[in-house]
Structure 1
Amino acid sequence: MLYAYLSGRHPRLPEEELKALIEAGGSTYRALLRLDQLAVFDSDVDKAVAAIHRAAFVKEVGTVLAFGSSDELPELVTKALELRGYRTYRLELTAIKVPPCCDLKGLIAKVPRSVASPSLSSANVVRTFVSEGAAIVGEPLAYSDMGDVKTRSPPVKPFWRSGELDVRLSRAMVNLSRPLEGGTFLDPFCGTGTLAVEAWLAWGGKVICMDLDKAMVHGSALNVRHVGAEALINRSNAAFMPLRDESVDSIATDPPYGRSTKLAGDSYSSLIELFLKESKRVLRSGGYAVYAGPTELRPYKYAVEQEFKVVSVLDQFVHSGLVRQIVVAKKPQ
């Protein structure tokens, strides 16, 4: 049994990303318990650990050693230490959106020294979480590693535009598309190239970056070179992709919409219909396409019309004039 410590940025997206990463690694995700910013689940341990360094909104994964009420936390820590047989330990306490049930020193004082001795230099880290009145005690196994996000973000990167997806959301959307390690990833509305960069950094392989706007093609090339990534960048129409049938393993993209574009509802509808029709052609059987759009236009319905299976729909508040909907769709086998 494993735990995941999740970002609080979105109520559902972090766990959906966790599930996608584990499935992309060839394992299954079985949810056992959901708490605020915590998920308890079953999966292949090695594959879960191997996948988590790619995550944007999953901070940490570890083994659950004990679980119960927050009132039982000293007893739960003692039980975990006895289970592991540690002689020394370093305790870390995280209280999520609630006042701490007790301070760290007070908690350590309630754990019998006859069981184990606390030490700041101990390599035996014991993680304790309190959320929604429950407590989880665990042993951390792996952490997310996004690298230098600042270097890949405005205004440090050489080319950017207001309203573009930030680095973490871009990485999460890439992960939701369940890429194959060393496979072929496509962003047909590449814009400033953020999704392409994150796909290459996290998964390697062949990255294809398309856009109809000459300025975006040039700018995305600057951003790809800026971080030493590699991508095939070209000026192409997402409605007529110069790609062979079933030549792409995964797709993640952010089509134009919102205040910064001139698209009306009908224009967005036509654009997404053509994009999804082409995506269905170039995407491998069982592959995933992830895309976004204004919630009011119900972007998910276009995937249904093209006979994709809608795996998840995630609404995200952007500003008073836009709520973004992220759609995760799977091409039938």
Structure 2
Amino acid sequence: MSPSFRFIDHGQGGSPGCMKIALRGQTPPTGRQVLIEVEYAGVNRPDVLQRSGSYPPPPGASPYLGLEVSGRIVALGPDAKERQVGELVCALTPGGGYAEYCLADERHCLPVPAGMDLRAAACIPENYFTVWTNLFERAKLQAGEKFLVHGGSSGIGLTAIQLAHAFGAEVWTTVGSQEKADACIKAGAAHAILYKEQDFQSVAMRTTGNYGMDVILDMVGGKYINKNIHTLALNGRLVQIAFLEGSKDSIDAMPIMIKRLVFTGSTLRPRSDEDKGQIALSLVEHVFPLMAQGKCLPIIHSTFALAEAGKAHELMESSRHIGKIVLKVKER
């Protein structure tokens, strides 16, 4: 019989209170998988959506919550050749990260950056994979361009602000409070728009002399879709990565044609293992050197014990946080 370990079970889903500590047996790694003894697990918006029943995992993925972890590799699959037992890593997982042990593909494991602890390392995979592939590979953001990210105080938002600033873009963001605006400015944003008081389209056009944005990264959707299109500059690129306000709206598509716009988007979880592995290699090549210099580091708001996963989800749903929310999995 395989040894049992603690994990968060969300049953049939529902409110944050549906999540409970449960036990299940270990599954040995197969193929290129590694088994990680988890120290910390990052909490992400897709976890909240999956728990509530609105974001089912793709075919073949774990039915359990948790898309990123940090910890120590304790076992290797028969085809895993790039990692070693005992190695400290952070990893993008196919689910199941809210647990004492978690499986991940070795290609989706990253070394812990020099000088970084495991708590911060657990915040890298989901946000940095997402931002890098969408902002730099899809939108091809360049130095000197004007970039707007909505929801700048979220984990994704702060990651996008830091990376865009580090690579030479001028950054705008939308936030819900002055406290969040201050945090975004500190992270590298040149302009923070208080969306409850200001119309982001009007502010963006006014502050750029009616030029607009070269790139917009949006997680909101809904009525923002049309406003984003009208805020883009000539040859601008809009990248959609989530729909907090829904995926449907009436839009005027004429500016797409007139301004030669690109409207694209992606989701990370359904992408192939090979795709995710390539993103991991790009992060090590382009972003890890910045982290070694103390730049573009994860910004952490709160840490909860594994048994307090419900409280972590309540905080995320409240949107009071600035930066990442983390679960401390391993008990000392």
Provide TM-score, normalisation by structure 1. 0.36
Higher relative contact order (CA 8 A, sep 6+): 2
Provide TM-score, normalisation by structure 2. 0.36
Bigger strand fraction: 1
Q: Report the structure number with the largest CA radius of gyration.
A: 1
